[in-house]
Structures are given as C-alpha cells and as structure tokens.
Chain A
C-alpha cells in the first residue's frame, strides 16, 4: 500500500505545487517588473495582490472561447495542450529533494530535452493552425529559433554529463557534493541560460510573440482557456528551466542545515527572479542577431566547453567509471 501511496502523494504534490508556482509567477512577475519600474503592480486583490491570479483566472474563464472559422480546428485545439503538457511532463524527472522525484529515470536529462523540444510543437502548430499571417510569422520564428537553440542547449549540458557520468538527475546532483558545477562548467551554464531563455521564449528572445511587431505572434487568435494554456506553458517553462539550472549547475537540493526541498525552492526562486530581472532590463534581439548569436557564438562555445571538459575528465580519469 505504501508503495503506491507515497509515489501518488509525490505526483499530486508536484503537480499541485508546480501549478501553484506557475500561476503565482504571473503575480510575481508583474510585481517585480513594477518594483523595478518604480511602480506597485497588482496590489489590490487580497493581501499584496496575491489573489490577482484568481481574478485573472475568472476573467479568462469568462471570456469567449473562440475558434476562428478559418482555423484548422483539431490542431488549433491541440496546440495549447501540447505546449502546457510538454512543459508539465518534464517535471516528472526533476529531483525536488533526494526522494521527492516522480520518476528518477536513468535518461532524465534526455527526457527533459525531448520534452522541451516537444513543447515547441505547441507553438509552431498553434501559429500554423491559426491560419493567420501574424500567427504564421510567429511560428516560423519559433521554429527557426528552436532549431538553432535546441542544438547547443543539448551540447551545453554535455559538460555536466561528462563530469557527473550519468544522465540521471539525482546522480548529477549527488556528483556536485564537493563542488557545484557552475564553477567548472561556467561556460556551459552561460550557454544553457541563454538557450533556456530562448526555449521559454522570454524577453530578449521573445521573437515568436513580439507584441509590438506581430500583434501577439503565434497566439494571436487564441482566447480564453486556450490562451491561458499557452501562458501556463510559458510560466511552467520558466519554472522548469530554473529547476534545470539549479539541478545541473547549482547543486539541486544540496545545501547545509535546511532540508533539501527548501534549498531547492530557494535556489529556484533566485533563478526565477533573475529571469524576471532579465525581462525587465533587456530589449528584444533582432531576428538576424538571434541567429548569428546562436550559430556563430554560442554553438562554438558549447563545443569548446565539451572539448575542454572532456580533455580534463579524461586526464584526471575519474568520473567516467560508473
């Protein structure tokens, strides 16, 4: 009985927790952006405006759920679901604490990469199915952006894998007992953060959305709950990338005194705040700049990182054994 109940509790707990965090991120982001722009942000609904999410949810639910007559119905409905589900599924492999992980797959890292690539389909199909020129332009950009960024997102993690000697995320965390990987893998971290930003379509890389040139990009035609799903997907994505950064480079749940889960959440919080700060401060890249940066700078950097790490690991001849 315990064998069933505990995993079930973990699943439900993670699901609820992740949803709550993703929803509350909307509030957090607005409050923080406001803070950095010398404003207050939403502070009326509930204490500190914490219930703003509820108000927003009710508003979204009561909006008309409209499917344009010219859209490709099936795909149009499917796309937001893909976007949200893919982001959600990746949380299955994230180790929130030593034993709070839904499924500690031995290919955890690969699973994460696969799922985040699937998430792109949500965006690309969403824009395509809308049958709208802005939607199409948005999804074109999304496709281009994802293809170029996916490549070195995977490559930037190879260094970590080489050092940890495993794709299992809990093993990666364990391997950081002596030193968190952000020191030896600094290059990897830098590349991964940039790729992560691009992956979540956050501001310096929010070209698929680009409100001020493409109306709303790939979700121009979406309203009500379908739109909310895209939004949920985006905020889940931020949480996911933050958890990945923390797990792979900042020692996951490792940390003195406090329990693992608390450490993990604290680190994620700092990471997410960093993401929001980036959004508050940086302007959007132009499309050719984005491509040039990706292929000409970050890809070579990621490759260099692999070569150097590989050389060092080979020379010290340690971790590759298990």
Chain B
C-alpha cells in the first residue's frame, strides 16, 4: 500500500524535471560528422571527381539502390557516366562508404530529405556530386595510385619508386 503512494509521489515529482524532448524543427539536434545521412559524391583536392566507377559500392549495397555506368575520359581516367541512388530504398547502412576505395562516396550528417513524390527520392549524379572533398581533405586517388593516366606516367605518383624493368639484369 505504502509503495503505491511512493510511486505516485515519485512520478509526480517528474513534473518539475526538465523535459528531454528536443523541439525538432525549431531546435536542431547535434549530428556528429560521422552520422550516416544523405549520401554525396566528393571531389579530390584538384576538383576532379573522385569516383572511379569501380562498382564496389553498388556491389556492397545490401538493398541494391546504387546504379552507375563506368566510362573513361581522354586522359584515361575512369568516371561514372551516370550515378544514381534511390533514396527511397537506401537504408543508410554506410556499406557503400566503407567499400569505396577512393573516398568518393560519403555519408553526411543531413537527414532532412523528405519529398512529396517518390520519384524525387531518386538522386542523379548532379544531385550527389559536391564541390568539396567531404570528410577526407587531402586524399587524391590518382596522385597516390600507380596507374598511368594522361599527365602522370608510371612512377610519378607520390612515394612511388620508378618502375623496374623486369627484363633487365642491371641494377
């Protein structure tokens, strides 16, 4: 019997506690930088597209919501001809970001992406591609990879040694 009144009193005292609710549209939450929200495609420090259209993100995606088509420019750089994410299917698991070898695809702390039409949830490359580098400021895939493209031959990448001629015996 007594503990019924204790319970009532304890609950009643909550009337004077601060409320935990965040009044959302007026008050914003703090979303940490690693929050898994709206997906973007970033550019490298030189302003070129980072994505090399390797399809790894599309393979990793558990709900198959990424579609892209690889193509190559005149310098031999691969890039996606189109890159499409259907956000009405995306579950924001972040697997695509983990799979990406070039830091191109990144999830951002933004979750305000509701639409009235389902069709509008499909983001094309123009919607995804941003001007900056996203979370990884200095990384530039083509500058560290030993792949020859126009303007950069083999052995010219950062910390890359000159190629060895395997058929020659001379050191």
Residues on A facing B (Cβ under 8 Å):
34-40, 277-278, 280-282
Question: Within the complex, which residue of B4, B11, B17, B23 is in contact with A280, where a contact is CB–CB below 8 Å?
Answer: B11
Known pairs A281-B10, A281-B11 / 10 extra A-B pairs, C-beta < 8 Å: A35-B15, A36-B11, A38-B14, A39-B19, A39-B21, A40-B21, A40-B23, A278-B8, A280-B11, A282-B7
In this complex, the member of A34, A37, A278, A281 whose beta carbon has the largest number of chain B beta carbons within 10 angstroms is A281
Within 8 Å CB of B23, what residues of A?
40
Determine how close the nearest CB of chain B comes to the CB of A285; give it in whole angstroms: 11
Within 8 Å CB of B11, what residues of A?
36, 277, 280-281
Contacts known (A38-B20, A40-B19, A40-B23); A277 close to B4, Cβ less than 8 A:
no
Report the separation of the CA atoms of residues A298 and B87 in the bound assembly, to the nearest whole angstrom: 60
Q: B19's closest neighbor in chain A, by CB? A: A38
Within 8 Å CB of B14, what residues of A?
35-38
Nearest 3 pairs between A and B by C-beta?
A: A281-B11, A36-B14, A281-B7
**17 contacting pairs across A/B (C-beta < 8 A):** A34-B19, A35-B14, A35-B19, A36-B12, A37-B14, A38-B17, A38-B20, A38-B21, A39-B19, A39-B20, A40-B23, A278-B8, A280-B11, A281-B7, A281-B8, A281-B10, A281-B11
Determine how close the nearest CB of chain A comes to the CB of B27; give it in whole angstroms: 12
Report the separation of the CA atoms of residues A36 and B18 in the bound assembly, to the nearest whole angstrom: 10
Q: A280's closest neighbor in chain B, by CB? A: B11
How big is chain B's contact interface, by range? 10 to 19
Tell whether, in the assembled complex, residue B4 and residue A38 are in contact, meaning their CB atoms are under 8 Å apart: no
Determine how close the nearest CB of chain B comes to the CB of A116; give it in whole angstroms: 24
Tell whether, in the assembled complex, residue A277 and residue B19 are in contact, meaning their CB atoms are under 8 Å apart: no
Q: Is the interface of A mostly helix, strand, loop or mixed?
A: helix
Determine how close the nearest CB of chain A comes to the CB of B23; give it in whole angstroms: 7
Determine how close the nearest CB of chain A comes to the CB of B7; give it in whole angstroms: 5
Within 8 Å CB of A34, what residues of B?
19
Within 8 Å CB of B12, what residues of A?
36, 277, 281
Determine how close the nearest CB of chain A comes to the CB of B21; give it in whole angstroms: 5
Within 8 Å CB of B15, what residues of A?
35-36
Report the separation of the CA atoms of residues A34 and B21 in the bound assembly, to the nearest whole angstrom: 10
Report the separation of the CA atoms of residues A36 and B20 in the bound assembly, to the nearest whole angstrom: 11
Report the separation of the CA atoms of residues A39 and B15 in the bound assembly, to the nearest whole angstrom: 10
Within 8 Å CB of B4, what residues of A?
282
Report the separation of the CA atoms of residues A280 and B7 in the bound assembly, to the nearest whole angstrom: 10
Determine how close the nearest CB of chain A comes to the CB of B3; give it in whole angstroms: 11
Determine how close the nearest CB of chain A comes to the CB of B10; give it in whole angstroms: 8
Within 8 Å CB of B8, what residues of A?
277-278, 281-282
Within 8 Å CB of A39, what residues of B?
19-21
Q: For chain B residues 54-82, which have a beta carbon within 8 Å of chain A?
A: none
Q: B16's closest neighbor in chain A, by CB? A: A35
Q: For chain B residues 91-138, which have a beta carbon within 8 Å of chain A?
A: none
Determine how close the nearest CB of chain B comes to the CB of A279; give it in whole angstroms: 10
Report the separation of the CA atoms of residues A281 and B5 in the bound assembly, to the nearest whole angstrom: 9
Report the separation of the CA atoms of residues A205 and B139 in the bound assembly, to the nearest whole angstrom: 65
Report the separation of the CA atoms of residues A214 and B140 in the bound assembly, to the nearest whole angstrom: 61
Q: A279's closest neighbor in chain B, by CB? A: B11
Within 8 Å CB of B18, what residues of A?
38
Report the separation of the CA atoms of residues A278 and B18 in the bound assembly, to the nearest whole angstrom: 21
Q: A190's closest neighbor in chain B, by CB? A: B1
Q: B22's closest neighbor in chain A, by CB? A: A40
Report the separation of the CA atoms of residues A307 and B18 in the bound assembly, to the nearest whole angstrom: 49
Within 8 Å CB of B21, what residues of A?
38-40
Determine how close the nearest CB of chain B comes to the CB of A33; give it in whole angstroms: 10
Report the separation of the CA atoms of residues A281 and B6 in the bound assembly, to the nearest whole angstrom: 10
Within 8 Å CB of B19, what residues of A?
34-35, 38-40
Report the separation of the CA atoms of residues A36 and B7 in the bound assembly, to the nearest whole angstrom: 12
Report the separation of the CA atoms of residues A34 and B14 in the bound assembly, to the nearest whole angstrom: 10
Q: A32's closest neighbor in chain B, by CB? A: B15
Report the separation of the CA atoms of residues A35 and B15 in the bound assembly, to the nearest whole angstrom: 6
Report the separation of the CA atoms of residues A35 and B14 in the bound assembly, to the nearest whole angstrom: 7
Q: A281's closest neighbor in chain B, by CB? A: B11
Determine how close the nearest CB of chain A comes to the CB of B36; give it in whole angstroms: 26
Determine how close the nearest CB of chain A comes to the CB of B169; give it in whole angstroms: 79
Determine how close the nearest CB of chain A comes to the CB of B147; give it in whole angstroms: 56
Report the separation of the CA atoms of residues A40 and B23 in the bound assembly, to the nearest whole angstrom: 9
